[in-house]
Amino acid sequence: MPEEFKNRNLQGARFEHVDLSEARLHDLAMRDVRISGAWIMDLVIDGEIEGSLTVNGVDLLPALEAELNRRYPGREAIYAVMSSGVDSFREAMRVLDEAWPTTIERLRHLTPEQVHERVDGDWSAVENIRHLVFAIDSWAKRALLGDPSPYDPLDLPHTEMGEVEGVPNDLDARPSLDEVLALHADRLAVVREQIDALTDERLEGMTEPNTARGYPEPETYPVRRCLAACVHEEWEHRRYIERDLDKLATRP
């Protein structure tokens, strides 16, 4: 049987004369990894790539970023929030507000079973939306606004987080699509309200420390980091939903 490595720290590990054919790697941290003397065919990478992506001496990341921006109009505005001013957040919010209705309309054409279906082992559409509610509860309501326990019972943390005291994590919940969409719309309104009221001074400031147990850790955070987390999560998880909708659409 193939070996499984879960919740393992393999930092600094060395792999020599190892056959990784048909391996599946999920939720990885791969910083400063070097692969040499490799025979690679049909390699698929799906994740957040920063810094560089060098293959046979060529940094492919600039071309990759340009292609992703071409394929997904609005993406560039989403990622501009990490280095630009208040207007970049308002533009990112406009992009999200224009993108979601099309995704929601596609979701409403699914059966109740399909909205809970995991495509290729990834989260279902409902699970992705539950995670977005969790992200906003964590970074906007808790970290930014100081609510010590903002979570809804349907909040779904990221898988690798595990159990954290006071944070819901019901993997077996099966809410309806309408239920999670209403919850998500409520939370998205919180982010929109914060961005509408945002000033340059507030954007460059820090949050007040939240001492209650929960996620994120009870400490201070840059306001930009809190709002950017909400914006990025919205974009990426909506994209995951669209990706899986495309796959479902090709089935008989």
Phi-psi region of 42 (alpha: psi -120 to 50; beta: other; left: phi over 0): left
pLDDT tens track for 114-166: 999 999 889 999 999 999 999 999 999 999 999 999 999 999 999 888 788 88
Q: Could you give the CA distance from residue 229 to residue 139 in angstroms, rounded to a whole number?
A: 7
pTM here is 0.87
pLDDT of residue 10: 86
For tokens 């399909």, what's the residue?
Answer: 114
Confidence check: pLDDT of 74 > 90:
yes
The CA distance from 83 to 68, in Å, is: 19
Q: CB within 8 A of 193, min separation 6: which ones? A: none
pLDDT tens column, 170-224: 999 999 999 999 999 999 999 999 999 999 999 999 999 888 889 999 999 999 9
Domains of the chain: 82-249 (1.20.120.450)
d(CA 176, CA 174): 7
